[in-house]
Amino acid sequence: MHAMSTPELTRPAAGAPARAPSRRTRLRRLAPYFFIAPFFVLFGVFGLFPLLFSIWLSLNQWDAAEGLGAMHFVGLENYWVALTDPWFRESLWNTFWYAVASGVPQHLVALPLAFFIHRTLRRSRNFVVGAYFVPYVTSSVAIALIFTTLFSKDFGVVNAILPGPPIDWIGDAFWARVTVAFVVFWRYLGWNMVLYLSALQTIPHDLYEAATLDGASLWKQFRHVALPLLRPMIFLAVTLTLIGNLQLFEEPFILIPPESGAMPHVQTTAVFMYRMAFGDGDFGTASAVSWLLFLVIAALTWGNAKLFGKEAQSDVAR
């Protein structure tokens, strides 16, 4: 916005005699565009072009190893192929499963946790918040190494602690899903907690004081003071989780060995898409899958906004 209004400043005053703008003036007019150009160039190359190219790609059959010349137009066939692929449909279900199994606990734990930290911790707060936030900034390679070791069937700590026969946390379809959902929960809990904590800090302290004077317990303060005021942030955090979980790729990709026979039962749509492109070399269908996934995300985000967003907005206005 600033960049757009800057040229106005250099415009000659209304009453000034009309003459061709000098070279210097022209350069000054163009300068803001140069300053903003790096973003638009980078966005164009790495954002807009791939986006448009993938639309075009999704309408073509293309084996990447053949080079760009080998592309040929097939219309909507790739979309039909993707929709009739049983692994694609199962991957959508898996993605949905992960979204619920890792997303719901994330918020159910992060909210009260943030409230607890906000109300009770003073000196140790920064340390505790930092500790919860560490998983979010940890490299996925390190996470893969640690968790495959912890959850190893034969020599993992988890199985050593649990009684009963060893559970195949990574190789078995059901348990692999549980493991992945747990890692996602563990990784993003801190992120959501920080979101809620920052929102809690904007709630005026007098509200709690008034509630305390009225004899409200900590739980009642959370339920009737903090929670309603947190609604806009809950909307934002849930939306972010929804989008993030529907695009879930890293955690299943690094935890599940690529040769696992349970792959169709544990892969998310993003993993399916990646394997379709770089494993099977079918970039056209993979692009179609990515657009189908986009449609699903758009629909769910819209639904979330309908359900949650309006009230959140009106709460702010109130």
Partner 1 sequence: MSKILRAITVAATFAVALATAHAAPVTITVATFPDLDRAAKAALPRWNAAHPDVSVKIVSLQYADHHTAMTTALATGSGLPDVMAVDLRFLGKFAQAGGLEDLGHAPYDGLAYADRFARYTFPQATNAKGQLVALPADIGPGTLLYRTDLLARAGLAEADLTRSWESFIAAGVKLRQATGAYLIADSADIRDIVMRAGLADGEGIYFDRDGKVLVESPRFVRAFELGRAAHRAGIDLGTTAWTNEWVAGFRADRIASQAMGAWLAGHLKNWLAPDSAGKWRSTTLPGGTWASYGGSFYAIPRKAAHKAEAWDFIRFMTLERDTQLQALRVLDSFPSLLAAQEDPVMDEPIAFLGGQRARQLWREIARNVPAIPVNKFDAMATEVIRAEYDDVINRGKDIATALAEARVLIEHRARR
As measured in angstroms, the least distance from the Cβ of 66 to partner 1 is 4
Q: Based on CB atoms, which residue is closest to partner 1, 245 or 287?
A: 287
> Residues 110, 192: contact at Cβ < 8 Å?
yes
Q: Based on CB atoms, which residue is closest to partner 1, 74 or 293?
A: 74
Residue with token string 């563990």: 186
Is the Cα dihedral 274, 280, 284, 288 positive or negative?
Answer: negative
As measured in angstroms, the least distance from the Cβ of 257 to partner 1 is 6
Q: Based on CB atoms, which residue is closest to partner 1, 214 or 259?
A: 259
Please report, as residue ranges, which positions from 166 to 205 form the binding site for partner 1 (by CB under 8 A): 168, 170-173
The terminus-to-terminus CA distance of the chain in angstroms comes to 29
Q: Does 165 engage in binding with partner 1 (CB under 8 A)?
A: no
Q: What angle do CA 175, 181, 183 make, to 5 degrees?
A: 105
Q: Based on CB atoms, which residue is closest to partner 1, 117 or 270?
A: 270
CA 295 to chain centre: 16
x-marked contacts with partner 1 along 10-39 as a string, rule CB under 8 A:
------------------------------
> How crowded is residue 292: how many other Cβ atoms within 10 Å of its Cβ?
19
Q: Taking contact as CB under 8 A, which single stretch among the options 14-22, 42-50, 146-154, 177-185 is the one that binds partner 1?
A: 146-154
For partner 1, the binding residue among 18, 155, 163, 202 (CB under 8 A) is 155
Distance CA(257)–CA(269), nearest Å, equals 16
Pairing outcome for strands 72-73 and 60-61: antiparallel
Q: Based on CB atoms, which residue is closest to partner 1, 66 or 209?
A: 66
Distance CA(252)–CA(270), nearest Å, equals 10
Which of 99, 107, 68 lies closest to 252 in space, CA to CA? 99
As measured in angstroms, the least distance from the Cβ of 63 to partner 1 is 5
Q: Based on CB atoms, which residue is closest to partner 1, 86 or 163?
A: 86
Q: Does 140 engage in binding with partner 1 (CB under 8 A)?
A: no
Please report, as residue ranges, which positions from 54 to 113 form the binding site for partner 1 (by CB under 8 A): 61, 63-68, 70, 81, 84-87
Phi and psi (nearest 5°) for 72?
A: -140, 145
Query: Which stretches within the chain are classed as H helix?
Result: 2-10, 23-43, 49-58, 77-83, 86-120, 125-137, 140-150, 157-161, 173-200, 205-213, 218-221, 227-246, 250-255, 263-266, 269-274, 283-304, 310-317
x-marked contacts with partner 1 along 230-259 as a string, rule CB under 8 A:
---------------------------xxx
Q: Does 148 engage in binding with partner 1 (CB under 8 A)?
A: yes
For partner 1, the binding residue among 47, 50, 228, 279 (CB under 8 A) is 279
For partner 1, the binding residue among 8, 154, 206, 214 (CB under 8 A) is 154
Residue ranges that bind partner 1, judged by CB under 8 A: 61, 63-68, 70, 81, 84-87, 148-149, 152-155, 168, 170-173, 257-264, 275, 278-283
